[in-house]
Amino acid sequence: MAKGIATGLLVASLILLIIYGADAAVAASSPDRMGFVPLDEAARGAGLGGGAVVMSIIGFVIARKEHAPIVSTLLFVNGGLIIAGMLALIAQGALASEDSSGAMRTIGSTMAMGAILIGLGAWKVAIDKRTIAAKGKEQAQK
């Protein structure tokens, strides 16, 4: 049950990240800097990006005691997508603006959130390995 809830949260998080990335791409290419989601840049980042990170962390917490390889996979994907999005932003020349220090702080903190999700994915893999090893010992003792 917990595995299903965690997977649902992580899939919803992935969907939010995809919508966020698509909206940011549309906004970057439009002259008025507006995407298809009627939010400004800060609200879009907090609502879609921040919401996705929070849901990913909650998904990890819910499934941490169960063997759930899909959870670790989705954590890796979500964290990697966040980092890839920030790298794409850097490649676009986002730091060439007049407020490059503010942009750099935002990009750095966002990449840190992606790294945290990847770290949680690695931690989940370690937890799953311990769970499997413990079950194997139990079976051997019976």
Q: What is the pLDDT of residue 56?
A: 97
pLDDT score of 11? 97
The pLDDT score that the predictor gives to residue 26 is 87
Specify the pLDDT at position 100. 67
Mean pLDDT across the stretch 47-68?
94
Burial class (CB in 10 A: 0-12, 13-18, 19+), 139: exposed
Lowest mean pLDDT among 3-7, 41-45, 111-115: 41-45
Residue 81, pLDDT above cutoff 90? yes
pLDDT of residue 94: 57
- CB-based burial label for 42 (10 Å; 0-12, 13-18, 19+): exposed
What's the CA gap between 32 and 13, in Å, rounded? 27
Domain coordinates in residue numbering, the chain: 2-141
Higher pLDDT, 115 or 106: 115
Structural contact between residues 20 and 48, judged by C-beta atoms closer than 8 angstroms: yes
Mean pLDDT of 61-66: 93
Q: What tokens does 61 get? A: 């917490």
pLDDT at 111 over 90: yes
List of residues 6+ apart from 135 with CB closer than 8 A: none
Give the model's pLDDT for residue 96: 59
Judged against a pLDDT cut of 70, whether residue 99 lies above it is answered with no
Q: Is the dihedral of CA 69, 72, 78, 80 positive or negative?
A: negative
One-character DSSP codes across 45-104: IIIIIIHHHHHHHHHHHHHTTS--HHHHHHHHHHHHHHHHHHHHHHHHTGGGSTTHHHHH
What band does 121 get if pLDDT is binned at 50, 70 and 90?
very high
